[in-house]
């Protein structure tokens, strides 16, 4: 089985002449000043979940946007800090943008334009020329930082997600023959009809085709991309090799479903420290001995939180016998709070939680606990292990690693996963209770099914899903990517 040791061996044997640099908008850890102290916080989201253990194994350099209040203060003379804090293994080099560029690049083009364009969540994309110019500037800053970091040494540069599609264009323009470049898109890719909405569609596609390889979460998204390129650009598509020739350059196109560090999550979630953390959280939030149903999301309209709350409301309407016996614990991590659509979402969620709790509460018990407070990642893993049910009800998602983290945490082979059919992870986890999050009636029925499933059926489903995630873990994912780029034979272990 692939693990950190196997990956380290591959990197040592096959990449000894290369340095590894990855780049993403989101940094893995941020430094903040809280409660009178300097603290470090692990950032939320699937990208960090996937790449942090990879970088610990590879011991390369991560280039990312600095976002914490104390991020500048901890850097050395080269703009770097070693991470993770408990066992420093790789360097984080932070990029900083001025407020005008940041607003246009991140809030504007990335999150008001590309994000809704790629997600079928019925939010209209907004494209502004000023935002596009900021997007270009930010991508060039990242590319220049990478080139400065690499210098003349041979390097494998791996760019991540929709914020940095054009970084490859600037790397290519530098004629850096010492670089092998790859791009991975963590979100869905739309069909050609939807992508036509983008005013800069040609420039975006040319950005993709600046890389030696581009990866998508699932084959469906890769096929959408091939169809889009076929419609929009004069290219030669090799359907057998699955590659695109454009302007005398070949780009491989692959589907690589991203995963998690199964072994590390499983070990921590079952530890005595995790059990103590659960006891503290249950006490602090007044959960008591009630069974826990958990959801963990960024507060984003693609995650389907309002639809989930309505299903919970209907569940209690139909099954009042569960009142005081279960608690729905929603961890909602704030996201993109400067944007109006996200402020509207926050207001909608607050209203629904208040309404449902007022309607169904009895005595000191309320059905929903919704917290936006920062909860350390290790404690979230402990809660996964403790929960009776985990709900992942995204309206549209590239993968969604919460589902895989929950399974990895269930070393006791119990617990039930309710999973949206519109998350990429549903294709690998058919044993989960699959739902259409738009169908409130069946969603409420799925909650009841999850809570009344026999122990034997729970164990059978969970064991099968754990076998899948154990085999298809994060290290195997990276091994497949490297084997494609570095042209060595991928060995299954």
Please give the full DSSP string across 317-377, using - where no structure is assigned. Answer: HH-GGGTTTEEEEEEEE---TTSHHHHHHHHHHHHHHHHHHHHH-BTTB-SEEEE-S---H
- CATH number of the domain that 303 lies in? 3.40.50.2000
Token pair recorded at residue 126: 């907004």
Q: Is 464 exposed, middle or buried (0-12, 13-18, 19+ CB in 10 A)?
A: middle
Any domain includes 344: yes
How many contiguous H segments (helices) and E segments (strands) does the chain have? Answer: 18, 18
Provide the number of structural domains found in the chain: 2
Any domain includes 493: no
Same domain for 162 and 223: yes
Any domain includes 25: yes
pLDDT at 14: 84
Any domain includes 208: yes
Same domain for 292 and 158: no
Q: From the CA atom positions of the chain, what is the Rg in Å?
A: 22
Same domain for 321 and 275: yes
Any domain includes 491: no
Contact 202, 232 (CB under 8 A): yes
pLDDT at 492: 52
Place of tokens 């998350």: 423
Q: Are strands 243-246 and 236-238 parallel, antiparallel or unpaired?
A: antiparallel
Same domain for 178 and 54: yes
Same domain for 293 and 205: no
Same domain for 157 and 17: yes
pLDDT in tens, the chain (493 residues): 788 898 988 888 888 888 999 999 999 999 998 777 778 999 988 999 999 999 999 999 999 999 988 999 999 999 999 999 889 999 999 999 999 999 999 999 999 999 999 999 999 999 999 999 999 999 999 999 999 999 999 999 999 999 999 999 999 999 888 999 999 999 999 999 999 999 999 999 999 999 999 999 999 999 999 999 999 999 999 999 999 999 999 999 999 999 999 999 999 999 999 999 999 999 999 999 999 999 999 999 999 999 999 999 999 999 999 999 999 999 998 888 788 889 999 999 999 999 999 999 999 999 999 999 999 999 999 999 999 999 999 999 999 999 999 999 999 889 999 999 999 999 999 999 999 999 999 999 999 999 999 999 999 999 999 999 999 999 999 999 988 888 755 455 4
Same domain for 481 and 420: no
Token pair recorded at residue 457: 């059926």
Same domain for 181 and 53: yes
Same domain for 373 and 320: yes
Of 161, 178, 150, give the one whose Cα is nearest residue 25.
161
Q: Output phi, psi for 93, to 5 deg.
A: -105, 120
Q: How far apart are alpha carbons 183 and 363 in whole angstroms?
A: 53
pLDDT at 180: 93
pLDDT at 488: 52
Same domain for 444 and 316: yes
pLDDT at 490: 47
**What does pTM read for this prediction?**
0.95
Same domain for 272 and 305: yes
pLDDT at 177: 87
Give the Cα-Cα-Cα angle 210, 216, 220 (nearest 5 degrees): 120
Peptide bond between residue 317 and the one before it cis (omega within 30 degrees of 0): no
Q: How far apart are alpha carbons 449 and 179 in whole angstroms?
A: 52
Any domain includes 67: yes
pLDDT at 491: 52
Token pair recorded at residue 290: 């009630």
Any domain includes 492: no
Domain that holds residue 233: 4-258+474-486
Same domain for 215 and 302: no
Any domain includes 11: yes
């Amino acid at each position: 089985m692939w693990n950190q040791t196997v990956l380290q061996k591959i990197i040592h044997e096959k990449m000894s002449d290369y340095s590894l640099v990855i780049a993403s908008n989101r940094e893995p850890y941020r430094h903040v000043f809280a409660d009178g102290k300097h603290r470090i916080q692990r950032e939320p989201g699937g990208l960090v979940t996937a790449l942090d253990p990879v970088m610990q194994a590879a011991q390369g350099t991560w280039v990312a946007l600095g976002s914490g209040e104390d991020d500048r203060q901890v850097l050395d003379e080269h703009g770097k800090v070693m991470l993770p804090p408990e066992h420093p293994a790789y360097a984080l080099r932070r990029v900083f943008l001025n407020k005008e560029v940041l607003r246009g690049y991140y809030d504007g083009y990335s999150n008001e334009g590309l994000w809704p364009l790629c997600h079928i969540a019925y939010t209209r994309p907004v494209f502004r020329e000023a935002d596009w110019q900021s997007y270009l500037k930010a991508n060039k800053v990242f590319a220049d930082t990478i080139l400065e970091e690499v210098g003349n040494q041979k390097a494998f540069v791996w760019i991540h997600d929709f914020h940095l599609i054009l970084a490859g264009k600037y790397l290519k323009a530098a004629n850096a023959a010492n670089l092998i470049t790859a791009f991975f898109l963590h979100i869905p890719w739309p069909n050609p009809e939807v992508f036509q909405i983008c005013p800069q569609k040609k420039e975006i596609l040319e950005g993709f085709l600046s890389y030696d390889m581009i990866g998508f979460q699932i084959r469906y998204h890769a096929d959408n991309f091939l169809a889009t390129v076929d419609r929009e650009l004069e290219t030669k598509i090799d359907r057998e090799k699955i590659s695109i020739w454009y302007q005398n350059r070949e780009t491989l196109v692959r589907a690589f479903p991203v995963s998690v560090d199964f072994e590390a999550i499983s070990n921590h979630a079952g530890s005595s420290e995790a059990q103590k953390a659960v006891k503290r959280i249950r006490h602090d939030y007044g959960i008591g001995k009630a069974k826990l149903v958990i959801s963990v999301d960024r507060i984003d309209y693609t995650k389907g939180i309002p639809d989930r709350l309505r299903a919970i409301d209907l569940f209690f309407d139909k099954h009042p016998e569960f009142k005081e016996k279960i608690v729905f614990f929603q961890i909602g991590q704030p996201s993109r709070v400067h944007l109006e659509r996200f402020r509207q979402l926050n207001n909608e969620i607050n209203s629904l939680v208040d309404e449902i709790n007022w309607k169904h509460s009895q005595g000191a018990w309320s059905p929903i606990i919704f917290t936006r407070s920062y909860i350390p990642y290790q404690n979230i893993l402990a809660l996964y292990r403790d929960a009776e049910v985990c709900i992942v009800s995204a309206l549209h998602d590239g993968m969604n690693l919460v589902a895989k983290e929950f399974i990895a945490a269930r070393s006791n082979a119990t617990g039930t996963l309710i999973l949206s059919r519109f998350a990429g992870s549903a294709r690998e986890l058919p044993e989960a209770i699959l739902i259409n999050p738009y169908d409130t009636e069946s969603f409420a029925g799925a909650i009841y099914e999850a809570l009344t499933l026999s122990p034997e059926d729970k164990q059978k489903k969970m064991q099968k899903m754990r076998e899948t995630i154990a085999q298809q873990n994060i290290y195997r994912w990276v091994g497949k990517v490297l084997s494609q780029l570095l042209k060595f034979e991928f060995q299954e272990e």
